Amino acid sequence: MATASEATKALHEQVLKTLPFRDTQDFDDAERGFIATISPGVITDADGRTVWDLDSYTFAGAEAAPETVNPSLWRQFRLLMRHGLYEVVPGIYQVRNFDLSNVTFVEGDEGVIVIDPLISAETAAAALALYREHRGNRPVTAVIYTHSHGDHFGGVKGVVDEGDVVAGRVPIVAPEGFMEHAVAENVFAGTAMSRRGAYMYGALLPRSPEGQVSSGLGLTTSTGTVTLIPPTREIRETGHVEILDGVPVEFQITPGTEAPAEMNFLFPTFGALCGAENVSHNLHNVMTLRGALVRDARMWSHYLNEAITLFGDRTDVLFASHHWPRWGRERAIELLEKQRDLYGYLHDQTLRLLNKGYVGAEIAEMLELPPALAHEWANRGYYGSVSHNVKAIYQRYVGWFDGNPAHLWQHPPVAAASRYVDFMGGADAVLERARRSYDEGDYRWVVEVVSHVVFADPSNAEARELEAQAFEQLGYQAENGPWRNFFLTGALELREGGKGTPVSSASPDVLGAMSLEQLLAGIAIRVDGLRAADAGRIVLNWVVDGERAVTTLNDGYLSVVFDRTDETAAATLTASRSGLIAALLNADPTGIGIDGDASAPARLLALLDDPDPDFEIVLP
């Protein structure tokens, strides 16, 4: 276990001096309304495998941060260790930190409405059981998904039976576009996102003062059964009111904010506003580091402003699907305003500087939040950061290219690395100078240059160790949970080799919800281009659950048209969606009926490449 360097300790001292640690209101709020929690703090699946382990974080007890954790992140971590069942107001309850996200229970005439049933069926079921133990055995009468991210729907089968949903007994309410976006993320870049997600959430790290201490947004992600039941009611309009189990709910749709399909909503009879994940106790991600389409900071700010106008004068408590609530109208509106100003400020100031010719990396360094925004605890960069959000806003408007032609056609990493090392006088010379930079505490520079040495020659053990040590100090310094996890996972993999990704985001339920268009797109992105180009033209008809399509492989590209049948196709494939998914995932073609030339689909399948879920990141 490495210790904190002098430079790291000095940085932590500075944090303690600069930030308002004497303001402990968040601890009061995080503890307010506590009813009970589970003990031991472990949730298991049907086979007894642990899917959630609060007890692995018992080292959170000490108020003073260890030297190896940024004191501001430590504070957030300790807030996230307030877990269990809480009363928000009489009739509204939350189970917090039984997963990355919160699940909320709103009591109606006949039973209880569930908002955002966590990631895994097991954690969601444990949360519901804890709620029922203290609030009576109320049936679930409705489910609301606030948005299309997996930590807000994956546990749905832990709280409701799909048969009750299909039979119309339990409505599931979600914003327009929910299903498309909930599934889309797993179609195109799902494999890469899972691998990078393991870095982001520190899934491979030990939980300790030298390891994973939350992700800032929540402790970590659970590892149980990810489920999905499609919504039965889509909310399309702001101002729309639904009566769920006798409880009026007034919606505001907020597309293109934290998620492409998301909504806030007010429970007017409770004076309670649900801010989904648009408002939280951290600066959120304009672009998440595991990889995603870049979000729109301007619209995010716009919709928070609209929420104040729509609901401010009727809000007595503001709760969300992460972190703890804010009570009192003035304080609730203040949080909405601070976050509105935060995202809006980042957007506008980035563009101001972009239009003066500064590039993303420069703006990220220059842009400073005014103290009124920076010293608001809920605006701290525990999940997003000013640095990477500024680069995301830059990327949204002008993309990866900074306009300098020297950066237009650079050598790729390994080719560049061997040239850099050669020009810098060889690996030993680089390491000698890098060690001096390390001693000066310039860890950012150490990882920049030593990464070239590692990419030029991954067998250079000295280089790997030096880079790992610099990553470690960067991790210890980071206020941002994902930054810490990225740095420390990088150190781990440099020392012990690539560890791969322990969990995949693609669960059978999520894959099973793919539309035919998404399924065929999933095949198309696996076509091995040049091999396929040599294979010539393959035309196939598809009939999947009655839906028709024609695929044409030509020039190495698989094009698709829907609602057609091609008379000249080599074969017609008839399958159910689940049969097609089994064929693709398990190479089990028994669920597919083939009429015509059976060798044609076999030739297409043979041209598909497999994604690599364990690709290297810190090594070439």
Cβ atoms < 10 Å from Cβ of 268: 15
Nearer to Zn ion among residue 267 and residue 383 (C-beta): 383
Nearer to Zn ion among residue 12 and residue 284 (C-beta): 284
* Long-range contacts formed by 524-527: CB under 8 A, 24+ apart: 524/551, 524/557, 524/558, 524/560, 525/187, 525/188, 526/608, 526/609, 526/610, 526/611, 527/553, 527/556, 527/557, 527/558, 527/607, 527/608, 527/609
User: What are the distances in angstroms from CA 151 to CA 135, 233, 339, 585?
Assistant: 24, 20, 22, 24
Nearer to Zn ion among residue 173 and residue 453 (C-beta): 173
Q: Which of residues 58-77 bind Zn ion (CB under 5 A)?
A: none
Question: What's the min distance (Å) between Cβ of 534 and Zn ion?
Answer: 45
Residue 524 sits at the vertex; the CA angle it makes with 523 and 528, to the nearest 5 degrees, is 100
Judged by CB under 5 A, the stretch of 143-151, 446-454, 482-490, 605-613 that binds Zn ion is 143-151
3-state secondary structure of 489: helix
Judged by CB under 5 A, the stretch of 4-12, 149-157, 402-410, 550-558 that binds Zn ion is 149-157
Helices (H), 323-368: 329-354, 360-366
Please tell me the number of Cα atoms within 13 Å of 616 on its side-chain side.
13
Q: Which residue is nearest to Zn ion (CB)?
A: 151
Structure-token match 């709103």, residue found: 106
Which of 101, 221, 252, 480 is the binder for Zn ion (CB under 5 A)? 101
Answer yes or no: are the C-beta atoms of 158 and 123 closer than 8 Å: yes
- Picking from 496, 450, 491, the residue whose alpha carbon sits closest to that of residue 474 is 491
Structure tokens at 424: 């810098």
List beta partners, residue 105: 93, 114
The pairing of beta strand 103-107 with beta strand 92-96? antiparallel
Q: Which of residues 448-467 bind Zn ion (CB under 5 A)?
A: none
Question: What's the min distance (Å) between Cβ of 149 and Zn ion?
Answer: 5
Nearer to Zn ion among residue 503 and residue 543 (C-beta): 503
Question: What's the min distance (Å) between Cβ of 430 and Zn ion?
Answer: 42
Q: Which of residues 522-581 bind Zn ion (CB under 5 A)?
A: none
Nearer to Zn ion among residue 287 and residue 364 (C-beta): 287
Nearer to Zn ion among residue 101 and residue 350 (C-beta): 101
What burial class does residue 243 get, using C-beta atoms within 10 Å of its C-beta: 0-12 exposed, 13-18 middle, 19+ buried? exposed
Binders of Zn ion: how many residues, by CB under 5 A?
Answer: 3
Distance linking the first and last C-alpha atoms of the chain: 26
Which of 26, 99, 122, 151 is the binder for Zn ion (CB under 5 A)? 151
Question: What's the min distance (Å) between Cβ of 280 and Zn ion?
Answer: 9
Question: What's the min distance (Å) between Cβ of 68 and Zn ion?
Answer: 27
- Mutual angle of helices 443-456 and 427-439, in 10-degree steps: 160
Nearer to Zn ion among residue 151 and residue 185 (C-beta): 151
Q: What are phi and psi of 269, to 5 degrees?
A: -70, -20
Question: What's the min distance (Å) between Cβ of 116 and Zn ion?
Answer: 8
Nearer to Zn ion among residue 101 and residue 572 (C-beta): 101
Nearer to Zn ion among residue 101 and residue 186 (C-beta): 101
Judged by CB under 5 A, the stretch of 95-103, 458-466, 581-589, 594-602 that binds Zn ion is 95-103
Residue 225 CA, distance from chain mean position: 17
Structure tokens at 300: 């995010």
**Residue 249-278 contact track with Zn ion, rule CB under 5 A, x = bound:** ----------------------------x-
Question: What's the min distance (Å) between Cβ of 219 and Zn ion?
Answer: 13
Judged by CB under 5 A, the stretch of 99-107, 192-200, 433-441, 448-456 that binds Zn ion is 99-107
Question: What's the min distance (Å) between Cβ of 101 and Zn ion?
Answer: 5
Judged by CB under 5 A, the stretch of 145-153, 377-385, 397-405, 495-503 that binds Zn ion is 145-153
Nearer to Zn ion among residue 155 and residue 360 (C-beta): 155
Question: What's the min distance (Å) between Cβ of 97 and Zn ion?
Answer: 13
Judged by CB under 5 A, the stretch of 97-105, 453-461, 487-495, 514-522 that binds Zn ion is 97-105
Nearer to Zn ion among residue 154 and residue 360 (C-beta): 154
Question: What's the min distance (Å) between Cβ of 32 and Zn ion?
Answer: 22
Measured distance CA(80)–CA(217) in Å, rounded: 8
Q: Which of residues 275-314 bind Zn ion (CB under 5 A)?
A: 277
- 554 residue type, one letter: N
Element (H, E) at 265: strand 263-267
Nearer to Zn ion among residue 211 and residue 275 (C-beta): 275
Question: What's the min distance (Å) between Cβ of 322 and Zn ion?
Answer: 6
The verdict on 185 binding Zn ion (CB under 5 A) reads no
Question: What's the min distance (Å) between Cβ of 482 and Zn ion?
Answer: 13
Residue 193 sits at the vertex; the CA angle it makes with 189 and 197, to the nearest 5 degrees, is 175
| Interface residue list for Zn ion (CB under 5 A) | 101, 151, 277
